[in-house]
Each structure stands twice: as structure tokens, then as C-alpha cells.
Amino acid sequence: MDLLDSPSDAEGPIGVFDSGIGGLTVVAALRELLPAERIFYIGDTARVPYGGKSRRTIERYSVEIAGLLLAEQAKLIVVACNTASALAVPRLKQIFNLPVQGVIDPGAAAAVRASRNGRIGVIGTRATIASRAYEQAIHALAPEAEVFAEACPLLVPLIEEAWFDDEVTGQVLHRYLDPLLAGGIDTLVLGCTHYPLLREAIARVAGPDVTLVDSAHNCALAVEDILRVRGLAAPARQVGSLDVALTDATEGFLRVAEQALELQIGDVKLRAVQAAG
């Protein structure tokens, strides 16, 4: 397939997408680090979650959403979804002739830097954990590291319900994290972009001796480096902005995320996609 070119230049937006709203954690990090950049975010809320779907389906969804970002003149695509980063980034790089940055490699690198004993825990969706993407990325940097992974399918629904401090959420976290903690991990990768919204609750269960790593800030640093190397950084005079589009109306949780992340989100656009499947 021929590569699809981006018609944008340095003044174009950074295109960011996630299966839902969780990728706004990456947007918040980008806004803080790169205040002059325009950002166009698409949350595929009509088809969330991606975590239980097949590789072929996730690839199809990701290509479709990336195409919508290309139509917005995106100069770079950030896959702010761990599941899509694990399963679809290679396909996106084949199809689109513009930089594509996922969240797996930056998160893995940060975990390796943070770990003192080489025992690293990873939590994520079923698809992310089954892909072993974090394990492979960590071992590429630190072959001797021990990786303890746990799929946590109930966390995203709890976060979407804004049950950040609920007793049920604490019980679920113990169910997922206790086996990892028993393995002696000193670092825990939050391998889903929703999970930083649950950071305080996770920290309470994990305890003070476990360093929590989320890929949002490290992904933003990787984007900054790409923009510099490719000569795509926004002009200093440019005023940064954030546009948010969803594939289905999810205003309730969007506003919770807006408050939790201190983002200013104006009118939300809708973008049509194929029916879920």
C-alpha cells in the first residue's frame, strides 16, 4: 500500500488518539511540555474499550482514526493507547508517511531507569498484556530484568465511572496488585493511559517503596525529540490549542477527566466511524 502523506507543516497539529478518554493524560503532558503546539485529540468512544479485541480489529480501528487525524492536517500521530501501541503501531508506520509515536517504548525506558532491583510490574488491558510488548521493550533495554505482568480488565470501567476512591476500586486493585507485590517489584508500569487517573489509589495499594511509572510524560518527551529532529516544532509565536473530538458522545466522563487533568476543553466535536465490531 502506498504511504499516505501528511499535508501539514510545523504549524499543523499533533494528532493524538485513544480508544476513549484516557489518552487525555498524554495530552495533558504534551500541553505542559509543548505549550506552543496545537493538539487535535480523537477518542474512539463509540468502540471503547480496545483491550478485549483482536489484533486485526485494533489495527483497523487505529488506521481509521489515524486517517481522521490526517484529515485534520496532523504533522505527527501519537498513539495514546497502550493496546493500540502494542498491536497497531507497525501497521500505522507502514501506511502513513509521517512520524508515529506510541506509548510502550517511552514507558518501558522509564521503568528500566526507575527500577533498583530489576523487578518490574506491568498492569494493562488483556490485549496489551497478552502482546508482551512491555516485556519485550523492557528486555531490549535490560535483558536481566524480571517482568511481572497482570491484565486488569475491570480498571477502565471503574475509571470511566469516576470511582477513583471507592471501596470497590480498592478491593479490585488489591486483587490485581497483590500477586505483583508478592513478587518483590519495586517499579510498576501503569500500562494503560486511563490508569494515571487512578494513580493515588494505586499508590496506596502499592505502597511507598514502589515507583509508579506512566508513559504520558515520557511519551511527551519522545514527541518533543521527534519534532526537533524533523524540524516540525511549532513556531515560538504560535499559540497552542486543544481540540477534542469523540466518535460518540461521552460528555460526563470527559468533564471528569477535564477537571482531574486541569485541561481546558471547549466544544467537543463528533467524528463518524464504522459501527463497532
Domain boundaries, the chain: 4-102+217-270, 104-215
What proportion of the chain, given as a percentage, has pLDDT over 70?
95
Residue 6 pLDDT > 60, yes or no?
Answer: no
* Distance of alpha carbon 186 from alpha carbon 169, whole angstroms: 22
Report the amino acid identity of residue 92.
L
Tell me if 4-102+217-270 shares its fold with 104-215. Answer: yes
What positions carry a catalytic annotation? 81, 192
Q: According to the model, what pLDDT value does residue 154 have?
A: 95
| 58: nearest Cα among 84, 80, 78 | 84
DSSP assignment letter at 272: -
* Distance of alpha carbon 26 from alpha carbon 277, whole angstroms: 26
Mark residue 272 as left, alpha or beta (left: phi above 0; alpha: psi -120 to 50; beta: remaining): beta
CA distances from 218 to 80, 154, 169 (A): 12, 25, 27
pLDDT in tens, 25-64: 999 999 999 999 999 999 998 998 888 899 999 999 999 9
Could you tell me whether strands 38-43 and 211-214 are parallel, antiparallel, or unpaired per DSSP bridges? unpaired
Least confident of 5-19, 127-141, 204-218: 5-19
DSSP assignment letter at 146: E
Q: According to the model, what pLDDT value does residue 1 have?
A: 42
Supply φ then ψ for residue 248, to 5 degrees. Answer: -160, 150
Cβ-in-10-Å burial (0-12, 13-18, 19+) of 162 comes to: middle
Report the amino acid identity of residue 275.
A
pLDDT in tens, 145-175: 999 999 999 998 898 788 999 999 999 999 9
> Architecture of domain 4-102+217-270 in CATH?
3-Layer(aba) Sandwich (3.40)
Query: In this predicted model, which residue has the larger pLDDT, 95 or 256?
Result: 95
Q: Are 175 and 202 in contact (CB under 8 A)?
A: no
Q: According to the model, what pLDDT value does residue 268 have?
A: 87
* Distance of alpha carbon 100 from alpha carbon 16, whole angstroms: 10
Fold annotation for 104-215: Rossmann fold (3.40.50)
